[in-house]
Amino acid sequence: MIQASYKRYILNFKRPGGTSRGVLHTKETFFIILKNKEQVGVGECGVFRGLSADDMPDYEEKLQWACDNINNGLGVLLTELMAYPSIQFGIEQAFLSLKGSDSFELFPSNFTQSKANIPINGLIWMGDKAFMKKQIKEKLATGFTTIKLKIGAIDFKTELNLLKSIRDEFSTAEIELRVDANGAFSPENALEKLKKLAKYQLHSIEQPIKAGQWEEMSNLCNKTPLAIALDEELIGVFEKEKKQELLAQIKPQFIILKPSFVGGINGSNEWIDIAEQRKIGWWITSALESNIGLNAIAQYTYQLGVSIPQGLGTGGLFTNNIDSPLEVNNGYLQYNTSLKWDISKII
């Protein structure tokens, strides 16, 4: 008989994180803890307030319901919790954690044995030009060859100048540039802005206009001079038929999967299957989870056989993260088996 409980935990940023939705100082998350005799399983329910589809008043009630009904089995729980993707993912993690000989080796692989690593992009947070330029220099100095910039919060001309300054110094062979607009452009001016951005030979732009405008996004994906990746567009789309309909209509070049937002492992697998049938590319991104969630996402991602840089390097943002073997080194995420987990903060 499995016993289940949950714990709320507030992650504190080392320095405020600037996004198009404001500046983040803290990030709320929840841990599900399963116990079966001597075995312990841990999973993270990484709800993102103001963005997750499951940011609802009854979120903790649903967490408690999941704990109360944990012995009904994973299949029943995932079906009942379809509208709560971060809880689905936390439960998937906790069950995998519980059944393994090592609570943190959810997908045994060369990655978890320190024999392989995962290429990742370096994330540049929004801020003034000087702050963003400083971050770029830091990322380049630490070995990143793919950089992702959040854009849309400061003057567009300033952002273009930033991109120009990078391209003046580094070719596409040296640095791959991705940008994330978080829906900051309007349908009326988006194509014009994409044409200006394309001059700097970008890999892709995430979510140029706000989600929910399928016709406008479809037009953009059809006419765009640079690849468009859907991100927020996938939030709240849970039924398989709706996923198929969305990708059939919009026809993006890429989709970006945040397991905490799209229903964890099962939800991500479904999106990947549909995308690959339509020759749509994809990559996986964390969403400010602690190292518990990041560990699950990284191990899941590695066993998918990815080759392009993923968005997984958020573990070092917090002052009170869970100590883990995860390390970012030279533009790669690695699992250093000489380092140990310490979950005393949550158990």
Q: What is the Cα 105 distance to its own chain's centre?
A: 20
Distances (CA, A) of 150 to 18, 171, 328: 9, 20, 20
Respond yes or no: is residue 196 known to be catalytic: no
Provide φ and ψ at 7, rounded to 5°.
Answer: -140, 130
Catalytic residue, candidates 27, 139, 148, 150: 150
The answer to whether 121 and 147 are in contact (CB under 8 A) is yes
pLDDT at 313: 79
8 A C-beta contact, residue 294 and residue 326:
yes
CA distance 77 to 157: 49
The reply to whether 258 belongs to the active site is: yes
| pLDDT tens across the length of the chain (347 residues) | 999 999 999 999 998 876 666 788 999 999 999 999 999 999 999 999 999 999 999 999 999 999 999 999 999 999 999 999 999 999 999 999 999 888 999 999 999 999 999 999 999 887 788 888 888 889 989 999 999 998 887 889 999 999 999 999 889 998 999 999 999 999 999 999 999 999 999 999 999 999 999 999 999 999 999 999 999 999 999 999 999 999 999 999 999 999 999 999 999 999 999 999 999 999 999 999 999 999 999 999 999 999 999 999 767 889 999 999 999 999 999 999 999 999 999 98
Half-sphere exposure of 70 (CA within 13 A, CB side): 23
Strands, E assignment, the chain? 3-19, 22-36, 39-45, 118-119, 122-124, 146-150, 176-180, 204-206, 228-230, 254-257, 281-284, 326-329, 332-335
pLDDT value at residue 341: 96
Of the residues 258, 279, 340, 345, only one is catalytic, namely 258
The structural domains of the chain, ordered by start, are 3-99 (3.30.390.10), 118-335 (3.20.20.120)
Tell me how far apart the alpha carbons of residues 67 and 78 are, in angstroms, rounded to a whole number.
Answer: 13
Q: Which of 48, 52, 65 is nearest to 5 (CA)?
A: 65
Q: Are residues 85 and 52 in contact, defined by beta-carbon separation less than 8 angstroms?
A: yes
